[in-house]
Structure 1
Amino acid sequence: MATLHYIFYLWILFASEYVQSSGKGCAPGQNKGAQDPSCPSSGGGSSGATTAATAETTTAVPTRQYSSSEQMASFIVDTFTSSTATYNNLIFPRKNFNDTILVDIGFSLIAITDFDEVAGTLEVIGILTITWYDELVDDSYSSSVHGPFTEIAIPNGFLWKPPVSLFNSASAIEPVGDTSNYVRMYRIDDSNDPYNRHGKMEWRPGVITKTGCTVDVAYFPFDRQTCNITFTHWGFTDKQVKFEPSASSLDLTDYSPSDEWSIEQSRLVEETVDGGSFVKIEITLERKPTYYLVNFFLPILILGILTALVFILPLESGERVGYSVTGFLTFAVYLTLIAEGMPRTSEPMAILSYYLMSMVVVSAAATIITVFTLRIFLKEENDPIPACIVYFIAGLNCLICTKEEDDDDETPLLGPDAVELQTTRVGSAKARRSRIEVESIASDDHPDNKYDVDWKLVASTLDIFSLVAIMAGSVAIAIVFLVPLAAQM
């Protein structure tokens, strides 16, 4: 019996200390003043000052509170599902229908799954963050029945939601989100807040957007593409529902970088068109050019050099025509490969396409010159060479100067009189020729081909001239077309 009295006495002491220390029902051992401002801290004025300072620093981040499962279930039933429920998701969530609901939209980019330049479409995966204030969702709340919870997740089928749709969709224009998504409601219980007794609704639906995009490949593969992802709401004007994005750019926290594209910049812009409110997300993408430099530019430059080297091959080898045609077909194949990855537009066309087309023309010219050179090389030695070609080839090979020096050291050729005198002394059959015949013979002794120019020399000179011309043309074309591309790096 004494033991029972002792236990009862300890219980009385414990209860009295509990009441004196808490005043408003604080549990023993609770961190008074830090977790709950309603719990007074034990001690003097210094601890009171500490409590005030702590409350001031924690007002920016409200403490999350949750009721019991029965109380939160009761809130859902009383607000949405019971026969006496006060909330209707078909009703504009304002008591005054003249009010404007401001909707904050943010976009968190997850990945760029596809960018089809030919079709002009951009496909991305992202998460929309849609926030608005609902005035009717908190009407049935009672702290005594539903507890002191500050937030709750509600199936979005129970709630009114702004009908956000992808405006410039390349497939179908449908509202975003799914009935399986939940909307998180944050209760606002602050008399100083203009949205007191409202519910702050936050909805984060995942989206896969496929939108049209105007592609500019003029500086491919150093190009930058700017694409728009535009959202709007159907059925409401900007006087009823208006977008006001608080973020100025994309959220890239969870972004998985693309292997082909890098995001140069992004921005969110609100626009009002024909009484409708739109949010336009502009994404500027910059192509990573390493793949194209290795697989396109470097081979094309090498092929341009190889095209000129065809004129170094010996003419007797018989491989020149096959070599030239192979180079021409290689340029044609590269032109086809690049054309397959470009939009079917004429304005603008890629500078790389112009460069490749120019190199195809150069390769075709080299093939034609090669065939023409072989034709000259295989001519008969007795075929006369036109005088203009003789002087041109002799001038290029400096034969004119060397021939004149040789003529100064040798005895001059016999003139017409000397020939007549000599033929008379010999008394041969030539002596019977007239003076006119002798003069014609003398003129034949000075043919136009006095520089010993033959067809093989003409062919070899044409080879050297073509080698220099094709090489210089390839370099000039590369400078004209590739320097503007290099300036974009």
Structure 2
Amino acid sequence: MRFLNFVPKALSFLCIFSSTYSYNVTDEDNLIKDLFSNYNKELRAGSDRTYPVNVSIAFYLYAIKEFVESSSKFTVNGVFWTVWRDDRLSWDPTKYNNITRIIVSQDKIWTPMLVNINPFKEVAGLRNYLVNIIVESDGSCKWTPMQSFDVICDADVTNYPFDKQYCMLKFHAYSLEEECMNVTFRRSRVLLSNNESSKVILSNYEESGLWKIKDTECYSQSSNRFSEVIIGLHLKRRSVYYIVGLILPMTFVSILQSFVFLLPNDSGERVGFSVTVLLASVVFLTIIQGKLPESSEPNISLLGLLLLGFISEGTLVTLCVILSSNIHLSEESKPVPNWVKVVFCFKPTKERDTNILKVAAGESSRKKASELCSWIHIARKFDKLCFIISLLLYATQIFIYFAIVL
């Protein structure tokens, strides 16, 4: 019972004791007035001007907003975790009722200016007026500006849609030289050596349905005596959608053109069928060209070359269909050349024809022997040959394409 009576008293004592160390708005107001009474935000941080102010940063990637290959626009949402120390903003917490940190607007103090030097439209600096700065009692300033960055990223669409891209966010500290400001990245614990670059922090990253992040890198380098910050993303396209929605339909439609040779010549639909399928391939080529940038460097898309091969073969198939129809409608009284007999009827000489006719008994036998190498028979043989060759050509093109891109 005594212990139970002691507990409320102890808790009351702790509350009274802790209240002596709490501060109110007046204490914080007095601290801010004292800190900024003689503060000049135009002067960079650091009391000793012989040494540069050290700015430590880290980049948190939240999402890949879009990547438009045709216009080279790459947009990401991210946060820069930025820390530096300003001795002019340090204070003794005991003089201000144990205040250890305050929150101030970023337009009140000096901030490191980093300018995006590969923007898609307008040049913009690293700044967000919606985010305040946390200032510690030792003068440490923590700033986390969140922005949507639109940058230029020239896409290499050689292996589209199985391509890999490397996009960068480049920032330049134009306001201060390296002797005045030193920018470094906060190093990750997983790095094995000092030679390795830091990584983009993906703890809050939302996976993109189109792009997969294979690797990242963050580093700073010197550029004309100024610090330059690089955020690099190695991306790989998720190609399942393109396989199902583009490559397979395009391939099936193109291969379908080979089966025109199985249609009877008497149907009269062969030429129309070939032209229709050929136009469908042209539509696929138009769709692909609309998605890719108008550029010839470093290489044009292999998928475009594949479809160009399909269209070229489709054109040859249409010409062969017209030629086959012409052979089929040839007059039977017109003699068949010997070289045609060699290729399609396997009758190498005129002498063999004579022997066959001599052996044949009666006029009906002669007629039967002559039909073995008629124009209709040649047209059928020509269709079978074209059917096999066209299928082999389509299969060869597809095999070569996937052998290169995969």
Q: 1:338 aligns with which of 275, 283, 288?
A: 288
Q: Do the aligned partners of residues 143 and 246 (structure 1) sit closer, same or farther apart at CA in structure 2, a change above 3 Å counting? A: closer
2:131 equivalent to 1:185: no
Q: 1:352 aligns with which of 303, 306, 309?
A: 303
Amino acid at match of 1:380: E
2:45 equivalent to 1:93: yes
8 Å CA contact retained: 1:403, 1:451: no
1:459 corresponding residue in structure 2: 379
Q: Aligned equivalents of 1:312 and 1:225: distance in 2? A: 44
Q: 1:74 aligns with which of 2, 27, 30?
A: 30
2:274 corresponding residue in structure 1: 324
Q: Aligned equivalents of 2:46 and 2:140: distance in 1? A: 13
Q: Do the aligned partners of residues 410 and 366 (structure 1) sit closer, same or farther apart at CA in structure 2, a change above 3 Å counting? A: closer
8 Å CA contact retained: 1:66, 1:151: no
Q: Deviation at 1:483?
A: 1.9
Alignment RMSD:
3.0
Q: Do the aligned partners of residues 187 and 312 (structure 1) sit closer, same or farther apart at CA in structure 2, a change above 3 Å counting? A: same
Q: Aligned equivalents of 1:282 and 1:374: distance in 2? A: 60
8 Å CA contact retained: 1:111, 1:125: yes
Q: Do the aligned partners of residues 245 and 66 (structure 1) sit closer, same or farther apart at CA in structure 2, a change above 3 Å counting? A: farther
8 Å CA contact retained: 1:400, 1:451: no
Scaled by the length of structure 2, what TM-score is found? Answer: 0.86
Q: Deviation at 1:337?
A: 0.6
Q: Deviation at 1:455?
A: 1.1
1:219 corresponding residue in structure 2: 159
Deviates more, 1:175-184 or 1:336-345: 175-184
Deviates more, 1:470-479 or 1:91-100: 91-100
Q: Aligned equivalents of 2:118 and 2:375: distance in 1? A: 69
Amino acid at match of 2:69: E
Aligned-residue identity in percent: 23
Deviates more, 1:249-258 or 1:205-214: 249-258
Q: Aligned equivalents of 1:268 and 1:481: distance in 2? A: 35
Q: Do the aligned partners of residues 401 and 281 (structure 1) sit closer, same or farther apart at CA in structure 2, a change above 3 Å counting? A: farther
2:255 equivalent to 1:305: yes
Q: Deviation at 1:298?
A: 0.8
1:280 corresponding residue in structure 2: 230
Q: Do the aligned partners of residues 410 and 224 (structure 1) sit closer, same or farther apart at CA in structure 2, a change above 3 Å counting? A: closer
User: What SS does structure 1 have at the residue aligned with 2:47?
Assistant: coil
8 Å CA contact retained: 2:46, 2:85: no
Q: Kindly provide the CA deviation profile for residues 312-334 of structure 1, in whole angstroms up to 9, marking residues without a partner as x.
A: 00000000000000111111111
2:200 corresponding residue in structure 1: 250
Deviates more, 1:308-317 or 1:229-238: 229-238
Amino acid at match of 2:402: L
8 Å CA contact retained: 1:71, 1:145: no
Q: Which has the higher contact order (CA 8 A, sep 6+)?
A: 2
1:395 corresponding residue in structure 2: 346
2:318 corresponding residue in structure 1: 367
Q: Deviation at 1:235?
A: 1.6
User: What SS does structure 2 have at the residue aligned with 1:28?
Assistant: helix
1:127 corresponding residue in structure 2: 79
Q: 2:13 aligns with which of 28, 40, 62?
A: 28
Q: Do the aligned partners of residues 179 and 465 (structure 1) sit closer, same or farther apart at CA in structure 2, a change above 3 Å counting? A: closer
* Unmatched runs of 5 consecutive residues or more in structure 1: 1-13, 36-64, 189-198, 412-445
8 Å CA contact retained: 2:254, 2:281: no
2:337 equivalent to 1:386: yes
Q: Do the aligned partners of residues 404 and 291 (structure 1) sit closer, same or farther apart at CA in structure 2, a change above 3 Å counting? A: farther
1:42 corresponding residue in structure 2: none
8 Å CA contact retained: 1:66, 1:150: no
Scaled by the length of structure 1, what TM-score is found? Answer: 0.72
Q: Deviation at 1:378?
A: 1.0
1:170-209 to 2 correspondence within 5 Å?
A: 170-188=120-138, 199-209=139-149
Q: Deviation at 1:403?
A: 6.8
8 Å CA contact retained: 2:57, 2:185: yes
Q: Do the aligned partners of residues 329 and 165 (structure 1) sit closer, same or farther apart at CA in structure 2, a change above 3 Å counting? A: same
8 Å CA contact retained: 1:186, 1:201: yes
Q: Do the aligned partners of residues 145 and 362 (structure 1) sit closer, same or farther apart at CA in structure 2, a change above 3 Å counting? A: same
Q: Kindly provide the CA deviation profile for residues 295-348 of structure 1, in whole angstroms up to 9, marking residues without a partner as x.
A: 111112212321110000000000000000011111111111101111111131
* Unmatched runs of 5 consecutive residues or more in structure 2: 1-5, 188-197
Q: Aligned equivalents of 2:350 and 2:219: distance in 1? A: 77
Q: 2:55 aligns with which of 89, 96, 103?
A: 103
Q: Deviation at 1:122?
A: 0.5
2:193 corresponding residue in structure 1: none
Q: Kindly provide the CA deviation profile for residues 26-83 of structure 1, in whole angstroms up to 9, marking residues without a partner as x.
A: 9735799xx9xxxxxxxxxxxxxxxxxxxxxxxxxxxxx8632211111111222xxx
Q: Deviation at 1:470?
A: 0.5
